[in-house]
Structure formats: C-alpha cells, structure tokens
Amino acid sequence: MNELLLTWLEPVLLTSLYSVLALLSGSVLMSLALPTWSWRKVAQGSVYALTLLLPCYLWHITVSLTDSDWPNLLYSAKFVITQSNLGQMWLLLCIANIVAIIALFTPMLTQKITLLSAFFVACLARAASGHAADAGLLSGDVWIHSLHIAAACTWFGIIACYLWAMLKDTQQTHLSDATTHLSEVATLCLLALVLTGFADSLRMYQMADNFWQSNYASLLFIKLYLVVIALALASINRLVIMPRLLSYYRAFYGIAMIESFILLIIICLATLLGASMPDA
C-alpha cells in the first residue's frame, strides 16, 4: 500500500470524524436555545455519517499496522481489533456510535443527554488512541486530552449549527437568544481548550529531550497562532458586533464563518499532533 496515501489519509479520515462529532455536539447544544430548530436532522445525519466512517477508519488502521492485502483484510482486521490499542479504541468508537443510534429513537427527555454522552465517549476513544495512549484509558492524561478534543469539536460544531439555523431563519426571530447562547458556549470551549492544551503541551515537554526542535513543536505553534486568530475574531464579534447585532448581524455571520474555517484547520492540525510526539 502506498505509504504517502496512508500518511495523508489518516488526517483526512480523522478530520472528517471530528467534524461529524462536532456537528453532533453542536446540534444538541444549539437546540437548547432554539427548541423549534430541526436539530434532530443534523444529529441523525452526523450519527449516520459516523457509521459510514468507522469501517473506513478500521481499514486504515488495519493496513497501517499490518500492511495487509485485500484477501487477508478480514483476518488482519480481527487481529488488530483483538491485539492492538487502536483496534480496541475503534471498538469503543463503535460502542459510542451504537449508543448514539439508539438515542435517536429514545424519548426526547433522555435523547440529548445520551447523544452528548456518546459524543464524549467517542472523544475519549480518540484521546486514548493518540500520544496519551500509553497512560491508559482511565488515566488523567487521556481524560484531559479527551476534554481538549471535545472542546475543539464543540466550539466548531456550535458555530456551524448556529450559522446553519440562522441563515435559514430569514426573519431573525431567534437572533438574540441564539447568539447569546453561542457566545456563552464558545467562551466555555475556549477556556477548556486553553487549559487542557496547556496541560497536554506541558506533559509532552516533560517527556521530550528535543521538544523545541521537533516537528511536534512546530505544528503546536501553528495551532496556537490559529487559536489566537480565532480568539481575536470571536472577541470582535462579542465586543464590537453583538451590542449592534440587529444592524450588523450579517457581519457577525461573516466573521463566524471565518472563525469556523480556522477552527476546522485547527482540528486538522490536532489530528496530526495527536498521532505524533517528539523523541524522548
């Protein structure tokens, strides 16, 4: 199998997976401010897309770990699932996916809580597949990294769902409530992202001998620059545009779109960082 293809396929698959999880989380959280919005369609689409992505991800990790050809793929996949950490975390992703599918058919009272629980379990599975995996699934390092993933996905997801809902609401009937809710959730996500990111980076720094000269550090600094840009855009929206929202809501939407694009790049960089670490 072409090594270059496998190298680039991983961030594409994981970015797609994180984007799907982001829409799942964002749709549920945005529904708290917009109860009449058709959030279930977005949640359903996200869950079904995750169902389609999981076999592709299993194929990728199987080929990456075993270099298996097509005739032996099923046997190799079974070996990967039973004998490797990546395979076992793939199983945990499947469990989260099954819980989310079941949640789609449960009463509304428990549906949102169950979907958010499935979202966090999926983030936990991904955190335990990256550079924190050696610490174990129940370790503080993995849970901190899972919170980092959850914060980034939720920040991106709620902006995407906000724009989705507001651009369809031509009368802007829920503009104020939805925007205030977006601002509050995004602020919490930013705080969680910064705190957990600092803890992650500190752990990697303590483990490495050549941290500042590593590719990991270079990617990390690019990610930090982009986070600062996203923070600046969010600040402009909150401090400058929000007090004049009724007159400048289109400007708010435009800045939010740019912010969401930057967050998508950050998520892509996070997939590269999560699978790498500087030499110890």
| Mean predicted lDDT score pLDDT of the chain | 87
DSSP string, 1-50: --HHHHHHHHHHHHHHHHHHHHHHHHHHHHHTT-TTS-HHHHHHHHHHHH
- List the one residue out of 92, 206, 195, 220 whose CA is nearest residue 144: 195
- The whole-number average pLDDT for the span 244-248 is 88
Q: Are 175 and 249 in contact (CB under 8 A)?
A: yes
Q: How far apart are CA 82 and CA 103, in angstroms?
A: 27
Q: What percent of the chain has pLDDT over 90?
A: 51
Tokens of 274: 């999560």
Using CA atoms, how far apart are residues 42 and 5, in angstroms rounded to an integer? Answer: 31
Rounded to a whole number of angstroms, the CA Rg of the chain reads 19
Could you tell me the two tokens for 46? 């996200």
Q: Give the best-scoring range by mean pLDDT among 33-37, 133-137, 153-157.
A: 153-157
| Residue from 129, 163, 193 nearest 26 by CA | 163
The pLDDT of residue 76 is above 80? yes
pLDDT at 2: 60
- Measured CA to CA, the distance from residue 134 to residue 62 in angstroms comes to 20
pLDDT band at residue 274 under the 50/70/90 scheme: low
Nearest to 242 by CA among 194, 192, 177: 177
Which are the contacts of 230, defined by CB distance < 8 A and separation ≥ 6?
259, 262, 263, 266
pLDDT the model gives residue 4:
56
276 or 56, greater pLDDT: 56
Residue type for position 163: L
Only one residue has tokens 């793929």, namely: 73
* Residue 70 buriedness (CB in 10 A; 0-12 / 13-18 / 19+): exposed
pLDDT digits (tens, 9 = 90+) for 166-200: 888 777 778 888 999 999 999 999 999 999 988 88
Nearest-10 crossing angle of helices 39-66, 73-83 = 100
Domain extents in the chain? 3-274
In the predicted model, is pLDDT for residue 279 greater than 60? no
| Cα-based angle 255, 42, 166 (whole degrees, multiple of 5) | 35
HSE-CB of 38 using CA atoms within 13 angstroms: 7
**Contact criterion met (CB below 8 Å) for 131 and 146:** no
273 neighbors 222 (Cβ within 8 angstroms)? no
Query: For residue range 207-236, what is the model confidence (pLDDT) as tens digits?
Result: 777 777 777 888 888 999 999 999 999 999
Give this prediction's pTM.
Answer: 0.90
pLDDT digits (tens, 9 = 90+) for 77-135: 888 999 888 899 999 999 999 999 999 988 877 899 999 999 999 999 998 887 666 66
Average the pLDDT over each of 3-7, 49-53, 93-97 and give the range with the smallest value: 3-7
Gap between the terminal Cα atoms of the chain: 29
Taking residues 6-11, report their average pLDDT. Answer: 74
